[in-house]
Amino acid sequence: MAAEVSSKYAVQMHGITKRFGSFYALTDVDLDVERGTIHSILGENGAGKSTLMNVLYGLYQADEGEIYINGKKVNIKNPTAAIENGIGMVHQHFMLVENFTVTQNIVLGSEPTNGPIALNMRKARKNVLEIVKKYGLEVDPDKRIRDISVGMQQRVEILKALYRGAEILILDEPTAVLTEQEIDELLAIMKNLIKDGKTIIIITHKLKEIQASSDMCTIIRRGKYIDTVPVKGVTEDELATMMVGHAVQLVVDKTPSNPGEVVLDIQNLYVKNEQGINAVKDFNLQVRAGEIVGIAGIDGNGQHELMEAVNNLKKCKGKILVCGEEIQNRNPKYGIDHGLATIPADRHKDGLVLGFSVYENTIMEKYRTEEFSPGGRINRKKMRSFAEELIKAYDVRPEDCGPRKAGALSGGNQQKIIIGREIAQEPKILIAIQPTRGLDVGAIENVHKMLISERDKGVAVLLISFELDEVMNVSDRIAVIYDGHIQQIFEHGTVDNRTLGRVMAGGEIEDTELEEIKKKVQAEKAAEAAGEDVSEAEPAAEVIPVALSEETAEESAAETAPAETAFAEPESEEPAAENELTAENELAAENETAEVSAAEAAPAETAFSEPEIEELMAVNETAEIADAADADSVRTAEEEEETSGTSPEAPEVPEVPETPEVQEAPEVPEVQEAPEVPQEETLAEPDMEQMQHELEQMQQSLVNLQKQIAEMQKALSGRQ
């Protein structure tokens, strides 16, 4: 029930209804968020959480309902209005300019100037550093976005909102892309913000995080308001039950495996990373029929490159065998034809063609078969009935989503389509990379059950997951990857996550110690089974940073993509002949290179909806700067400032060689930023001029070199 309108609430949304066509994403939803609190929103995939927040941020207009900020009724017609009302939003997909530095990104659109044109980047940098310090949001202001981790990029987004004066911060699934350690850091930052009187609304599927962070939690189910409860005093089970509407099994229940023949056999594998360095080295692993092998490891230990090689997206040295047949250094289709199915980590880039309908996405790997394209034409009736079955079996919502663009579905429901499609391939080896990321607890339970049921059917399953608990619970064997190779392998139930953490950091556990750990773990399990409380004896699972790779955010377009379908579905069950394109033409996402599938085929406009573009425009008010897409334009203003002598902070003599070497080019930003210490007292005027001149020349040549490097890298990656 909605609370009385009062100034003690930072946000009140009353009776919010939002329709997409005839579909009700939200029906009469209330949200009351007290100022200075952390308020989480919980709901299944597709429940309407992001839609509700997009309404608050002005990306969508509600069809019905009112919004009050600090007790005053407001009309938030676009993100600019939201910002004016002190609302900031960190989307799961970041909106940063990769080539710009942290500072440039933060101030973009709100740059302090000296007079009408000249930018005062030094002042901007100082302001940014003040916010960084105030909230413990440590981030290097001079680094370029493309050079920092996803966790750091998220901080930049938070800084961006704070820089614009946000008092109310919306975080949409902020932890889905973070390592466990980064999650802890984010929670600490959130607490700092609250101390300063800010209000935070956070969407997360992770019940533990709600309990660790929030004061109140509002639960939404299928677009309807269920309840708002204080987080203290409510258990994870109770939250899950309220969210799904029935009890959910949070712990994986499985019988021991019964492994058969080796299906996937990786021998002495070496794979290079983007920099040409071996990220995978002397990697050996076997996965047998009827077992689940989980790979645990800290971000950047070769997981990404390993998967690229296995999926034939990258050349490698060594052998990758599926049922005794070498599949390496071919093309993605070759692997698929030999029984390899992959649930990719990045569902937008590698999993779906967002601009294609759900129907079409379900047959991405099958459309050229005789079954679906007899005589080279897609049998759309067959496609639809196949897709409808899959939608039902995997509980993809809404049930009538078949004709919609895949991009219009919520992130979790997109994932269900991919999982269903890959399992329908009846693979011999199923590789699941972070298969439950962004899924609600009910959906996670289903995915785990599916992986186990595939295993029980005799499929070899390789699981790579962000969630250490998931790897530990679901896997029959846990292989720890470290520095590109398998450091150690453990049987299920013989190791705790603290020990795994040690191995993930490069340690090795001796047999005798392992025996001790095994006894302890098994004793704990037995005690747990007997209903004893072991939480006292053993503190809650230690937080260990595990991540697959530096993923860029990926829920993105789902939240905002327009509703129209990619292809108009014919009215009749049997489509008119002229509507039938050939299979080749119609599903352009050719399997030869998996990257093509989504990355290229998905039209750019699905990435941002109009309101999002509007938001970007709002942020990009200074068009010249945005257009430059490089540090050059910003630097020019600084140079102006320096040469005109208005700045007391002249540059220190940089230790840059006369003729800069190619590999030093990326250091440009460091050279560009003038140091903090004023040098006027120690340098005579003529020296200054001379140095300024030399510095400019060097900077120019560095920039040129940098451009050349970028072009060469582009050309190289194009060839790979």
Ligand X SMILES: Nc1ncnc2c1ncn2[C@@H]1O[C@H](COP(=O)(O)OP(=O)(O)OP(=O)(O)O)[C@@H](O)[C@H]1O
Distances in Å between the Cα of 413 and the Cα atoms of 262, 273, 566, 663 are 33, 32, 18, 44
| Residue with Cβ nearer Mg ion (40 or 50) | 50
| Residue with Cβ nearer ligand X (410 or 597) | 410
Write out the DSSP string of 227-263.
EEEESTT--HHHHHHHHHSS----S---PPP---SEE
Of the candidates 559, 615, 639, 642, which one interacts with ligand X according to CB under 6 A?
Answer: 559
One-letter amino acid at 520 equals K
Query: Which distant-in-sequence residues (6+ apart) come within 8 Å of 303 by Cβ?
Result: 295, 297, 464, 481, 548, 549
Query: Which distant-in-sequence residues (6+ apart) come within 8 Å of 87 by Cβ?
Result: 11, 56, 57, 69, 76, 166, 167, 168, 170
Site string for ligand X, 11-50 (x = CB under 6 A): ---------x----x-----------------x-xxxxxx
Query: Does residue 258 contact residue 290 with C-beta atoms inside 8 Å?
Result: yes
Beta bridge partners of 316: none
φ and ψ of 391, to 5 deg: -60, -40
| Residue with Cβ nearer ligand X (108 or 171) | 171
217: contact with ligand X by CB under 6 A: no
One-letter amino acid at 388 equals E
Of the candidates 328, 560, 591, 699, which one interacts with ligand X according to CB under 6 A?
Answer: 560
- Smallest gap from Cβ 50 to Mg ion, in A, equals 3
Name the site residues for Mg ion (rule: CB under 5 A): 50
Give the three-class secondary structure for 553: coil
Query: Does residue 365 contact residue 453 with C-beta atoms inside 8 Å?
Result: no
- Smallest gap from Cβ 410 to Mg ion, in A, equals 5
- Helices and strands (H, E) in the chain, number of each type: 25, 22
Query: Does residue 460 contact residue 289 with C-beta atoms inside 8 Å?
Result: yes
Query: Which distant-in-sequence residues (6+ apart) come within 8 Å of 77 by Cβ?
Result: 58, 61
One-letter amino acid at 187 equals L
The rounded distance, in Å, linking the Cα atoms of 53 and 170 is 7
Picked from ligand X, Mg ion, none, the partner binding residue 563 (CB below 5 to 8 A depending on kind) is ligand X
**Which residue stretch of 67-75, 349-357, 424-432, 558-566 sits at the interface with ligand X (rule: CB under 6 A)?**
558-566
- Smallest gap from Cβ 52 to Mg ion, in A, equals 10
Other beta carbons within 10 Å of 73: 11
- Smallest gap from Cβ 464 to ligand X, in A, equals 21
Picked from Mg ion, ligand X, none, the partner binding residue 20 (CB below 5 to 8 A depending on kind) is ligand X
Of the candidates 409, 504, 553, 637, which one interacts with ligand X according to CB under 6 A?
Answer: 409
| Residue with Cβ nearer Mg ion (144 or 437) | 437
554: contact with ligand X by CB under 6 A: no
51: contact with ligand X by CB under 6 A: yes
Q: Find the largest Cα–Cα distance for the chain.
A: 85
**Burial status of residue 183 (CB atoms within 10 A of its CB: 0-12, 13-18, 19 or more):** buried
- Smallest gap from Cβ 392 to ligand X, in A, equals 16
Of the candidates 76, 266, 391, 408, which one interacts with ligand X according to CB under 6 A?
Answer: 408
Picked from Mg ion, ligand X, none, the partner binding residue 85 (CB below 5 to 8 A depending on kind) is none
Report how far Cα 37 is from the mean position of its chain's Cα atoms. 26
The rounded distance, in Å, linking the Cα atoms of 240 and 244 is 6
| Residue with Cβ nearer ligand X (101 or 204) | 204
Of the candidates 247, 563, 629, 662, which one interacts with ligand X according to CB under 6 A?
Answer: 563
Site residues for ligand X, 411-430, by CB under 6 A, read: 411-412
Query: Which distant-in-sequence residues (6+ apart) come within 8 Å of 240 by Cβ?
Result: 207, 247, 248, 250, 441, 442
| Residue with Cβ nearer ligand X (183 or 408) | 408
Picked from Mg ion, ligand X, none, the partner binding residue 141 (CB below 5 to 8 A depending on kind) is none
The rounded distance, in Å, linking the Cα atoms of 46 and 409 is 7
Q: Using CB atoms, what's the residue nearest to Mg ion?
A: 50
**Which residue stretch of 292-300, 324-332, 405-413, 640-648 sits at the interface with ligand X (rule: CB under 6 A)?**
405-413
- Smallest gap from Cβ 327 to ligand X, in A, equals 33
- Smallest gap from Cβ 462 to Mg ion, in A, equals 28
- Smallest gap from Cβ 391 to Mg ion, in A, equals 19
Query: Which distant-in-sequence residues (6+ apart) come within 8 Å of 190 by Cβ?
Result: 38, 171, 200, 202, 213
Site residues for ligand X, 267-286, by CB under 6 A, read: none
| Residue with Cβ nearer ligand X (178 or 702) | 178
The rounded distance, in Å, linking the Cα atoms of 113 and 356 is 45
Per rule CB under 6 A, count of chain residues that contact ligand X: 23
Give the three-class secondary structure for 122: helix
| Residue with Cβ nearer ligand X (441 or 471) | 441
Of the candidates 31, 364, 471, 561, which one interacts with ligand X according to CB under 6 A?
Answer: 561
- Smallest gap from Cβ 403 to ligand X, in A, equals 12
Q: Please, what is the Cα angle at 308 between 302 and 312, to 5 degrees?
A: 145
Of the candidates 174, 398, 427, 669, which one interacts with ligand X according to CB under 6 A?
Answer: 398
- Smallest gap from Cβ 222 to ligand X, in A, equals 9
Site string for ligand X, 306-345 (x = CB under 6 A): ----------------------------------------
- Smallest gap from Cβ 413 to ligand X, in A, equals 6
- Smallest gap from Cβ 270 to Mg ion, in A, equals 39
Binding residues for ligand X, per CB under 6 A?
20, 25, 43, 45-51, 397-398, 408-412, 555, 559-563
